[in-house]
Structure 1
């Protein structure tokens, strides 16, 4: 029987909506939980709305609704899909991939391959785009799966935050380290390690220096070979645009995508987030 393959991900991928629509990527939303309200990420609430409410209430975040996931699988089966490649946020940061894996066992007559990206934002998103583009070339399920794994091995993500407050409150970094960082005005360049967990790439004092260090980090990558690059921000539109202009003056950029971080990511990073994703195209 002829394969019909769907590409699936979650709302932390930060892929611009027009690209999601172009390739028919299936996106399951994580959830944002306030004391008396629940929102689906990017559907019922925007990052700007989350930032506006942060001084009054810091919400918690939650995995996708099992009902949403099962409904998506049922819809794919009804539309004749035979295979799903589901690529999700790092298991070191969320239980989403494990949830999808567990639910996939309830579905018959649909081959579902769940891949832990060990990444976040457009580090996840660009991998999903690569999968969708490979699929559009009429590549097989197995060929696309192998391409995803090869792409993930090359993907690098770096970001700076306006404040360490929200990572600290969310338990993503130690409270002592977070408080000390605030006092010293440290603006570390954060990356995701091979286990898919936040780690410090460089320690810098002050916002301007952190942005310059972020640029220098990407410049080093671009000096080696042709790369695809993505810039994502949360409440840092002007700085993101400035970074775009600086990058355009460099060579070795095959493609440059810009976007906005999801509300779920915004809960944990706060306003002033600026991230860069880079990977070689060879």
Structure 2
């Protein structure tokens, strides 16, 4: 009989209730300051990361090989036969490769590692849906086939408060580092499907117009199918709540979820002022 473990990493934006409900194992990133290193989500919160940015912008490192191996040892001891691992884009992190490497040391556990080519709440939605399907009794092989189809139905857009942090963190991808400083241009950012790197969808002048555009971009999805919408933010809850209120006015959006703060590891690169909306087709 299959015993399947569900793994993700701390770049995944997902609520604590869901993590507990589906027994999801989270591999933590490291948040690194000059004087100290913290375990993401355990020793430091997103709020603390944003507050500390006023004095120091930290670096980060992917989940350690030791942490991944310790998790596999635990799963082996608990007689797990299979693992589904849903991870941050390989275009911005080596986490996928690290999990694949360690998993090969445990051949008795059949592992499927999925590169989301994304992160944050997009990653979280896929993890949550996997948890639901596992609880319903879906087999390992069927879930492997279902995950790429889930990804096709999830569409995520961000507006950064500033590009300063993405530029300094080296995670700018295909976003121009200069456009944000010209005429108050705010890029609408998403992830490309091929490489899983950030790119600019559109360039909008002004904060208010850029936030409204996050809603308008969802129209091409909600006009065809009923969707759920998920909203996240980097220390700008008021902006996020306003977007939620506007999204709830659309009858084609069944549920609107305010997930809250963007995870600390993602926040290191997107910085305060970021707002994201993710549309998930039902």
TM range (shorter): over 0.9
| Cα deviation code 1:224-277 (max 9, x no counterpart) | 111122111111101111111111111222333322211111110110111011
| Cα deviation code 1:196-218 (max 9, x no counterpart) | 11011111011001011111112
Q: Which residue of 2 aligns with 1:149?
A: 148
Deviation of the 1:219 alpha carbon: 2.9
* Structure 1 runs (4+) greater than 4 angstroms displaced: none
Q: CA RMSD in A?
A: 1.6
Unaligned runs of 5+ in 2: none
Q: Which residue of 2 aligns with 1:20?
A: 19
TM-score (structure 1 length as normaliser): 0.95
Alignment check: 8 A CA contact 1:190 1:198 kept: yes
Does the residue aligned with 1:178 lie in a helix, a strand or coil?
A: coil
| Cα deviation code 1:105-135 (max 9, x no counterpart) | 1123111111111111011110111111111
Does the residue aligned with 1:58 lie in a helix, a strand or coil?
A: coil
Hey, what's the Cα distance between the residues in 2 that align with 1:74 and 1:229? 37
| Cα deviation code 1:16-55 (max 9, x no counterpart) | 1111111111111111111121111111111111111112
Cα 1:239–1:263 change in 2 (3 A) is: same
Deviation of the 1:176 alpha carbon: 9.8
Matches within 5 A, 1:181-200: 181-195=180-194, 196-200=196-200
Q: Which residue of 2 aligns with 1:241?
A: 241
TM-score (structure 2 length as normaliser): 0.95
Q: Which residue of 1 aligns with 2:253?
A: 253
Matches within 5 A, 1:31-110: 31-110=30-109
Does the residue aligned with 1:177 lie in a helix, a strand or coil?
A: coil
Deviation of the 1:175 alpha carbon: 11
Hey, what's the Cα distance between the residues in 1 that align with 2:172 and 2:12? 22
Deviation of the 1:184 alpha carbon: 2.4
| Cα deviation code 1:176-208 (max 9, x no counterpart) | 932342242111110101121101111101100
Q: Which residue of 2 aligns with 1:277?
A: 278
Say yes or no: does 1:231 pair with 2:221.
no
Does the residue aligned with 1:36 lie in a helix, a strand or coil?
A: coil
Does the residue aligned with 1:113 lie in a helix, a strand or coil?
A: strand
Which moved further from structure 2: 199-208 or 72-81? 72-81
Does the residue aligned with 1:162 lie in a helix, a strand or coil?
A: coil
Does the residue aligned with 1:187 lie in a helix, a strand or coil?
A: strand
Matches within 5 A, 1:165-204: 165-173=164-172, 177-195=176-194, 196-204=196-204
Q: Which residue of 2 aligns with 1:263?
A: 264
Hey, what's the Cα distance between the residues in 2 that align with 1:17 and 1:146? 27
Alignment check: 8 A CA contact 1:169 1:175 kept: no
Alignment check: 8 A CA contact 1:158 1:190 kept: yes
| Cα deviation code 1:84-111 (max 9, x no counterpart) | 0001000011111111111111123111
Alignment check: 8 A CA contact 2:248 2:255 kept: no
